[in-house]
Amino acid sequence: MTLNQRLTLLLLLGLTVTSAATSCIFSEDGAGRCVCNSMGILNPENLMCLQASELELRDGTLDVSEMAVSGLTLGFQMIQINKLIFNNVTISFSFISVVISFLPRNLNEIHIISSTLEVVQHLQPPLLQEASRIKTLYLEDTTVDPSLLQPSFQALHRWLFGPLKSLGLVRSGLVETDCIWAQRVENLTHLDLSENPISYTSLQNISHCASLSFKYLKSLHLRHSNLTSLQSLCTLLSLTPTLTQLDVSRNNFSILHYPQCFQVKPLTMLNLSHSGITEVFHDPPQTLKKLFLSNNRLIRLPSLDNLSHLQVLKVDNNRLTVLITETDVSLSTLEQLDTLHAGRNPYQCDCALEETITFLDSADMKVDSGSLIFQQGVIKSG
Ligand SMILES: *[C@@H]1O[C@H](CO)[C@@H](O)[C@H](O)[C@H]1NC(C)=O
Ligand SMILES: *[C@@H]1O[C@H](CO)[C@@H](O)[C@H](O)[C@H]1NC(C)=O
Ligand SMILES: *[C@@H]1O[C@H](CO)[C@@H](O)[C@H](O)[C@H]1NC(C)=O
Ligand SMILES: *[C@@H]1O[C@H](CO)[C@@H](O)[C@H](O)[C@H]1NC(C)=O
Ligand SMILES: *[C@@H]1O[C@H](CO)[C@@H](O)[C@H](O)[C@H]1NC(C)=O
Ligand SMILES: *[C@@H]1O[C@H](CO)[C@@H](O)[C@H](O)[C@H]1NC(C)=O
Ligand SMILES: *[C@@H]1O[C@H](CO)[C@@H](O)[C@H](O)[C@H]1NC(C)=O
């Protein structure tokens, strides 16, 4: 169906929308993005949104009365979006159970932000014909009615979580998990469980689940998760043989020990920013390409021995008084390093700084050290 045909059809249907004020804002940046309050998309005045690739529905309640069903399913089938965002809405399960069978064909990404998924009346789980095409599901600050997690919805769970590649459950009150749920998401490549009061006992427990392995997981985010040691992650990491990116920023490590289990991981990115780190013990994993240690309380640059693959190092906003000294030349062993952020540190202007400048000057890299900016070997005063 061409866009014009779709427009005509919508106009003929004369869709009525229950919300009092329904409006959309269409921006043509990129592939086109439409932000509508509530179900403004169904208002014939907002037909330009049919061309958007990204649709955000915000502020209000998404519910379907019997009468609106045909308009709603038709409207959803006609939009071309690949990304759907719900923001600050209360979504009733009756809405989900209707639209789930009529999702736009290209839709592969759903974000639900600051919203509530509720079950008003008891409903049968929807009958799902085709396999889900949703690859990314991201929930942030969202409350999910516990009855939606019950075994009576397990067909829906399998349908949704089976084909999923990327899952985010951020700031959503996740406390524990079990074998059934862990197994449902075993094929993810990206998992973000940041900002939850998650229990590490329950995370450690899943290592006992029968033949569980997150064998495709490449990136794991546990920002702001009340972690006090990396050691506590070893049991979980034993289930993630291919993990390359670990974000454990905004935790509380103070004295950081790299556990042995990190040495056998193919980790290339480790984010340890904003974690109150004062000292670091043992060597970081040698496979690292990016190491983020910004916004900590480091007095000395930690050992970077043997990090021959390191390309990006951020140690800005710490308490470093020297970056490099004659005796401790660990920085100069970093052959691949091309980006160094080392600004906002209380450097003392002495021989050590001169040493640093000489090193950086010869090192041909992009360096941002705050008041001094070094770029590709040229020293400029910032
Ligand atoms: C959320 O939506 C309600 C209407 O349902 C609105 O009154 C409120 O201002 C919205 N909040 C934000 C932060 O946009
Ligand atoms: C994960 O993928 C394997 C095949 O690679 C498949 O057998 C299994 O059912 C998948 N798991 C889920 C929960 O979909
Ligand atoms: C964080 O951990 C401490 C003890 O390690 C515990 O007392 C506290 O309740 C935890 N906070 C959250 C939000 O989980
Ligand atoms: C961990 O597993 C033990 C034994 O299987 C169980 O008793 C305990 O409740 C579990 N803890 C959590 C937090 O899941
Ligand atoms: C590292 O963590 C900080 C703090 O959470 C965040 O602002 C930053 O974007 C992260 N960087 C990367 C590359 O993940
Ligand atoms: C970090 O952990 C230490 C104990 O390990 C505790 O004294 C301190 O209050 C914690 N800080 C924060 C911000 O949670
Ligand atoms: C780093 O390299 C040196 C010299 O090659 C070696 O003696 C040392 O054991 C290495 N450190 C680690 C942590 O592998």
pLDDT in tens, 168-193: 999 999 888 889 999 999 999 999 99
Asked if the structure places residue 149 within a domain, the reply is no
- The predicted pLDDT at position 15 comes to 41
Q: Residues 90-128, buried b or exposed e (16+ Cβ, 10 A)?
A: bbbbbbbbbbbeebbeebbbbbbbebbbbbeeeeebbee
* Protein residue whose Cα sits closest to atom 7 of ligand 2: 187
- Residue-level pLDDT at 101: 81
Instruction: Report which ligand 1 atom has the smallest distance to the Cα of 60.
Output: 5
Rounded Cα–Cα distance for residues 143 and 121 (Å): 17
Domain boundary among 79, 97, 121: 121
* 338, part of any domain: yes
Find the 203 Cα to ligand 4 centroid distance in Å: 10
Res 54: pLDDT: 92
**Rounded Cα gap, residues 226 and 245, in angstroms:** 19
Domain count, the chain: 2
Closest CA to 78 of 100, 43, 108, 103: 103
Q: What is the pLDDT of residue 164?
A: 97
354: Cα separation from own chain's centroid: 40
Distance 162 CA to ligand 2 centre (A): 7
| 138 contacts 112 by C-beta, under 8 angstroms | yes
Cα separation, 322 vs 320, whole angstroms: 6
Residue 262 token pair: 């990190």
Q: Answer yes or no: is 50 within a domain.
A: yes
Q: In angstroms, what is the span from residue 232 Cα to ligand 3's centroid?
A: 14
Atom of ligand 3 nearest to the CA of 197: 14
Q: Which of 121, 144, 159 is the C-terminal boundary of a domain? A: 121
CB distance 12 to 34 below 8 Å: no
Choose the residue to mutate in 180, 201, 232, 235 for probing ligand 4, maximizing ligand atoms within 8 Å of C-beta.
201
- pLDDT in the model for residue 20: 43
- Tell me, in angstroms, the distance from the centre of ligand 1 to residue 172's CA: 19
* Residue 150 · residue 179 · CB < 8 Å: no
Domain end, chosen from 121, 147, 178, is at: 121
The two three-digit tokens of residue 155, written as one number: 């067909």
Structural domain of residue 328, as residue ranges?
A: 323-382
Ligand 2 lined by 180 (C-beta under 6 Å): no
Is the beta carbon of 252 within 6 A of some atom in ligand 6?
Answer: yes
Q: Report if residue 78 sits inside a domain.
A: yes
Cα 232 to averaged position of ligand 6 atoms, centre (Å): 16
13 occurs within a structural domain: yes
Measure the CA–CA gap between 306 and 117, rounded to whole angstroms.
Answer: 49
- For residue 288, is it within any domain? no
262 in a domain, yes or no?
no
Q: How far apart are the first and last CA of the chain?
A: 58
Per DSSP, 209 falls in state S
Evaluate whether residue 55 is within a structural domain. Answer: yes
Q: Which residues of the chain have pLDDT under 70?
A: 1-22, 30, 39-46, 65-72, 122-123, 325-332, 349-382
Tokens standing for residue 163: 């084909």
For residue 348, give both structure tokens: 């003392």
pLDDT of residue 130: 87
